[in-house]
A and B are shown apart, each in its own frame.
Chain A
Amino acid sequence: MADKISILIVDDEESVRDSLHNWFIEDGYDVGRAENAKNALLMLESRKFDIILADIKMPGMDGMEMHRRIRALNKDTIVIIMTAFASVDTAVQALKDGAYDYVTKPFDPDDLSHLIRNAATQILLKAENEALKMKVSTLEDIGDLIGQSEAILKVLKQVESVAQSNSSVIITGESGTGKELVARAIHSNSPRKYFPLISVHCGALTESLLESELFGHEKGAFTGAMFNRKGRFEMADGGTIFLDEIATISSKMQVELLRVLETKSFVRVGGNKEISSDFRVICATNRDLKGMVKSGNFREDLFYRLNVVNIAIPPLRERTEDIPLLVNHFIAKYCTSMSRDLITIEPAALKHLENFEFPGNVRELENMIERAIVIGNGREIKLRDLPMGKEAINSSVESLDELEKRHVEMILNKYSWNVSRSAKALNVDRVTLYNKIKKYNLKQQL
């Protein structure tokens, strides 16, 4: 651990520099020395030091002034001020200027060891914290939104630009297109990413339950309210609230929601204290909100309040070129989660997927791939592993030979290539079946 930490000793007394240098070298630190502030600043221009031990009284620029300049160069550097002239005033000033600590010469060896060890721990914790933040960002990246079609690239571009703002967003798209994924991508790429993303599925809750869910409630507010409970708006403080199926909320809730969005404050159910919360709103719907406004089923003022930015996600049938990418993504995802070797998909199966309508969009495709991996042979996803595979085979408009080949193969697979049983099922003799196998070059898949 220690060899990763670098220390710069700045003192005009050579004996002090050498003593500290020897002391820290024995601890395995990377140690540099400078006899005055000017040289120290020159050294800091060419390389970085984690900790700087600076004398307060030096000819020319003093330690306090040097500290201020170091902070301007790199505010993460830990500066420890040393002096033989201890006074409360200078100690307080050094700490006010952001010094890590203040020590008086000569130091107790144990105090010095503790001081440096604590500073080193702080540096490592900070580095670890940064690394974890990066990891969290990577996990929640827009990488989950797969596709190279023009339609999806447009969505990704919108996500990128809208993420940096604080504007309300409405995400529209058919069921299963990935509206929540887009909401997550916006949140995780926004400055609010270290605060929570709270999701509420408005369609799944009754009006009273939704009210209590969003605003929270006080103990005794209604039967069963045994404790005070924070609402989702309160939980989303600093972060983002995602209201899915926004079109399903009642007129009363629309009024209340509008008030909350305008004031960013609310009162818990059964309470009387105004609670403020700083949140961003992202909504999603698969309905035509504008049409609902025209027909009087959705408040116009709320619609305009929410619809600052609109992101429309195209259905999968309008971006079929993304299907191979999505298929590979889901294969990798589920093979990994099931601890299986990576498998492939046969061209015929992929072709059928590309031609399929997918009323359930990406979610349906994902479920199909997961199912195919579970029931398949573990090496390749076949057409028969897909729910529409059987139908595809049956509705084939290919030649009679092709149809016969597929049927014979299906029967053979059904009876595990037991020729006698397969021949009986096909109502032909074994020789005929052998001839068919030879003719169509059929082979048992192991």
Chain B
Amino acid sequence: MKENTIILVACGPFEKDFLKKIALSAEKEFRVPVTFIENHVDLTPFYSPGRRQYDANKLLSFISDSSVNENAKVIGLFRVDLFIPILTYIFGQAMLNGRSAVASIYRLRNEMYGLKKNEAMLLSRATKEVIHELGHNFGLIHCHIQTCVMRSSTYVEDIDQKSHNLCPECRESFDKI
């Protein structure tokens, strides 16, 4: 059964317009209402001094526990650098067929790569990342279609190449859920 709502939890300072645009795009893609809330969470317990990054597994558990709405998918959006123990970094993480996900804009910013700040590009990348992780929550796996939002991305360039949308095959899989 599909959850009847999606909650975008902003865990850090984000402009409302930025969150609103992401929520609208996700709503359009998954055809369920998307609301956003701001959560001024203290991230210190999730920080790994050895890695100088934040543990995405712990943040995922935290986001999952923070929502009492059983009928909602919850995605936490962060500004900090995320990692999982085995990988040097991640853009986001989700529970496949689960109800929670996390994503970060830390490595989606142009400045990270010594390039000029570009807000429109950041919004586009963040939107794709949020939709991608939510797609996993809905049970979709990585897609081989170049432009599908469910295509695996390990570099920002990969994210830029894909669209905000599910390809027809993933759309069909989503509709069957």
Would B96 and A110 count as touching, CB distance under 8 A? Answer: no
Would B86 and A25 count as touching, CB distance under 8 A? Answer: no
A and B contact pairs by CB, cutoff 8 A, 6 listed: A2-B142, A19-B57, A22-B84, A22-B93, A23-B84, A106-B51
What is the interface of chain A, defined by CB distance below 8 A to chain B?
1-2, 13, 15-16, 18-20, 22-23, 25-28, 82, 105-110, 112-113
- B96: nearest residue on chain A (CB-CB)? A25
Given contacts A26-B152, A106-B86, A109-B89, 14 further A-B contacts (CB under 8 A): A1-B144, A15-B85, A19-B87, A22-B96, A23-B84, A25-B96, A26-B96, A26-B141, A27-B142, A28-B141, A106-B85, A107-B86, A108-B88, A113-B152
- A107: nearest residue on chain B (CB-CB)? B87
Cα–Cα distance between A13 and B86 once the two chains are bound (Å): 10
What is the interface of chain B, defined by CB distance below 8 A to chain A?
51, 57, 83-90, 93-96, 136, 141-142, 144, 152, 154-155
Would B90 and A28 count as touching, CB distance under 8 A? Answer: no
Q: How many A-B residue pairs have CB under 8 A?
A: 63
List chain A residues, Cβ under 8 A from B87. Answer: 19, 23, 106-109, 112
Would A26 and B136 count as touching, CB distance under 8 A? Answer: yes
Known contacts A110-B154, A110-B155, A113-B152; is A25 also within 8 Å of B141 by CB?
yes
B134 → A minimal CB distance (Å): 13
Would A105 and B86 count as touching, CB distance under 8 A? Answer: yes
The 8 Å CB contact of B154, one of A28, A105, A113, is A113
List chain B residues, Cβ under 8 A from A16. Answer: 85-86
Would A27 and B57 count as touching, CB distance under 8 A? Answer: no
List chain A residues, Cβ under 8 A from B141. Answer: 2, 25-28
List chain B residues, Cβ under 8 A from A82. Answer: 86
- A112: nearest residue on chain B (CB-CB)? B87
Known contacts A27-B142, A113-B154; is A19 also within 8 Å of B85 by CB?
yes
Would B154 and A19 count as touching, CB distance under 8 A? Answer: no
| Interface SS of A by simple majority | helix
Would A107 and B88 count as touching, CB distance under 8 A? Answer: yes
- B158: nearest residue on chain A (CB-CB)? A110
B84 → A minimal CB distance (Å): 4
Cα–Cα distance between A107 and B89 once the two chains are bound (Å): 9
List chain B residues, Cβ under 8 A from A22. Answer: 84, 93, 95-96
Cα–Cα distance between A25 and B97 once the two chains are bound (Å): 11
Cα–Cα distance between A26 and B141 once the two chains are bound (Å): 5
Cα–Cα distance between A15 and B57 once the two chains are bound (Å): 8
The 8 Å CB contact of A13, one of B85, B94, B144, is B85
Cα–Cα distance between A1 and B85 once the two chains are bound (Å): 27
Q: Which of A13, A15, A22, A113 has the most CB of B within 10 A?
A: A22
Cα–Cα distance between A19 and B84 once the two chains are bound (Å): 6
Cα–Cα distance between A113 and B155 once the two chains are bound (Å): 11
Known contacts A106-B88, A107-B87; is A27 also within 8 Å of B152 by CB?
yes
7 smallest CB-CB distances across A and B, nearest first, come from: A110-B154, A28-B141, A19-B84, A109-B154, A15-B85, A19-B86, A27-B142
Cα–Cα distance between A23 and B155 once the two chains are bound (Å): 15
List chain B residues, Cβ under 8 A from A26. Answer: 94, 96, 136, 141-142, 152
List chain A residues, Cβ under 8 A from B155. Answer: 110
List chain A residues, Cβ under 8 A from B57. Answer: 15, 18-19
- B91: nearest residue on chain A (CB-CB)? A109
- B144: nearest residue on chain A (CB-CB)? A1
- B150: nearest residue on chain A (CB-CB)? A26
Cα–Cα distance between A20 and B51 once the two chains are bound (Å): 18
Cα–Cα distance between A389 and B87 once the two chains are bound (Å): 81
Cα–Cα distance between A2 and B136 once the two chains are bound (Å): 16
Q: Which of A1, A16, A19, A82 has the most CB of B within 10 A?
A: A19
Cα–Cα distance between A22 and B141 once the two chains are bound (Å): 11
Would A106 and B83 count as touching, CB distance under 8 A? Answer: yes
List chain A residues, Cβ under 8 A from B152. Answer: 26-27, 113
Cα–Cα distance between A26 and B94 once the two chains are bound (Å): 9
List chain A residues, Cβ under 8 A from B90. Answer: 109
Cα–Cα distance between A19 and B95 once the two chains are bound (Å): 11
B137 → A minimal CB distance (Å): 11
- A20: nearest residue on chain B (CB-CB)? B86
- B140: nearest residue on chain A (CB-CB)? A26
List chain B residues, Cβ under 8 A from A28. Answer: 141-142
List chain B residues, Cβ under 8 A from A110. Answer: 154-155
List chain B residues, Cβ under 8 A from A106. Answer: 51, 83, 85-88
List chain B residues, Cβ under 8 A from A105. Answer: 85-86
Cα–Cα distance between A20 and B154 once the two chains are bound (Å): 15
Cα–Cα distance between A20 and B57 once the two chains are bound (Å): 12
List chain B residues, Cβ under 8 A from A18. Answer: 57
A367 → B minimal CB distance (Å): 52
Cα–Cα distance between A22 and B96 once the two chains are bound (Å): 8
A120 → B minimal CB distance (Å): 12
Cα–Cα distance between A18 and B94 once the two chains are bound (Å): 12
- B55: nearest residue on chain A (CB-CB)? A15
Cα–Cα distance between A19 and B86 once the two chains are bound (Å): 7
Cα–Cα distance between A143 and B155 once the two chains are bound (Å): 55
Cα–Cα distance between A23 and B154 once the two chains are bound (Å): 12
List chain A residues, Cβ under 8 A from B51. Answer: 106
